[in-house]
Amino acid sequence: MTACIVGWAHTPFGKLDAETVESLIVRVANEALEHAGIGAEDVDEVVLGHFNGGFSPQDFTASLVFQTSDKFRFKPATRVENACATGSAAVHQAIKTIEAKRARTVLVVGVEQMTRTPGPEIGNILLKCSYVPEDGETPAGFAGVFGKIAGQYFQRYGDQSDALALIAAKNHKNGVDNPYAQMRKDLGFEFCRAESEKNPFVAGPLKRTDCSLVSDGAAALVLTDTETALRMRRAVAFRATAHAQDFLPMSKRDIVQFEGCTEAWRRALDQAGIRLSDLSFVETHDCFTIAELIEYEAMGLTPRGQGSIAVKEGWTNRDGKLPVNPSGGLKAKGHPIGATGVSMHALSAMQLCEDAGGMQVKNPKLGGIFNMGGAAVANYVSVLERIK
């Protein structure tokens, strides 16, 4: 336990026309410092997670955190990026700095503003998270990439449309209780299962309700070493962290296995000295419902090809044996790329501090987080435990 979360902040996710990348950064940075009970002068380093890729005209953003306070001036600040896992890449970078004893307190901010970009351009930007020589012309953009993955999974293991609709319905139901969620509406299984004018097929077997939302938003964390954290208001420790990067081309992998996800979970659970069944909940990367389904198998919740059991038998419901995405996940909460991983950590810390309101799971002890960049290329797992 070399690092702890001692404060956090989170904007609502959605179409935030009154905000800019800069205003979102400043907002969460201020609120996270206040929540931790420290000032800018107490921060040793800043790490910003911001994918951008063309969403924002401002492409050099690390120093925008300094707009929060002049007291940040001359402190180290770095922007990191690893596709849809950008937020967790920022968190893990901060932990490495603390482990190396180059900093005692690090401010991590994740941000994205996507909704000001025209729809077709959004698809082109997101396709850059795939291997462009193979997938750059995929119809329906990144949804098309996961549509292909879903099609291959269906061919191997049979039609999983019921399971995908159950995942979507579960996450939308959970999202109703998340005050930060972009979509707070319980859509129900029948709506998610049936093709309709409001729920058309988007790519392969994936319908609109199988796809996460285009979002604006930001989240922030204050991280310290454990010794410092134990003198502060609260301390949520990193019991383990793991990062497993895989090949970019899907042609070099068995894409329905998510092997990088499996490896990241194996490393993290080994490091923490626990089994998956010891976790109280998991926040996982449901950019598309097929991703959550495969992640059940990759994390070891079910055997390969049997992920549907977990959702059909209610294991992953908020009151199930392993609640998955009690926040509503990316599916209901939204997916502002650079903010997502930071958001997952903030929401998990809220759970462990029993500060999650209507999202709260019962008596949480350990929380697991899986954040993924690309099609199971960048794979990050964190295991969190409250120690104060």
Of 175, 180, 137, the closest CA to residue 28 belongs to 180
| pLDDT by 10-residue block (mean), the chain, 388 residues | 94 98 98 98 98 96 98 98 98 98 98 94 92 91 94 98 98 98 98 98 97 97 98 98 98 97 98 98 98 98 98 98 98 98 98 97 98 98 98
Q: Which fold has domain 4-117+217-229?
A: Peroxisomal Thiolase; Chain A, domain 1 (3.40.47)
Other Cβ atoms closer than 10 A to 313: 12
Residue pair 16/91 in contact (Cβ under 8 Å)? The answer is no
Residue 267 carries which side chain, given as an amino acid letter?
A: R
CA dihedral 91, 184, 361, 110 (to 10 degrees): 10
Other Cβ atoms closer than 10 A to 98: 23
Distance CA 314, CA 324 (A): 10
Helix (H) or strand (E) holding 49: strand 45-49
Name the packing angle between helices 86-99 and 337-352 (round to 10°). Answer: 60
**Which two tokens mark 140?**
């329906």
Q: Which residue has the tokens 């495969």?
A: 294
Q: What is the pLDDT of residue 140?
A: 86
- Ranges of each domain in the chain: 4-117+217-229
Q: What is the pLDDT of residue 17?
A: 96
Q: What is the pLDDT of residue 1?
A: 75
For residue 1, how many C-alpha atoms fall within 13 Å in the half-sphere facing its CB? 17
Q: What is the pLDDT of residue 313?
A: 98
Q: What is the pLDDT of residue 250?
A: 96
Q: What is the pLDDT of residue 40?
A: 98
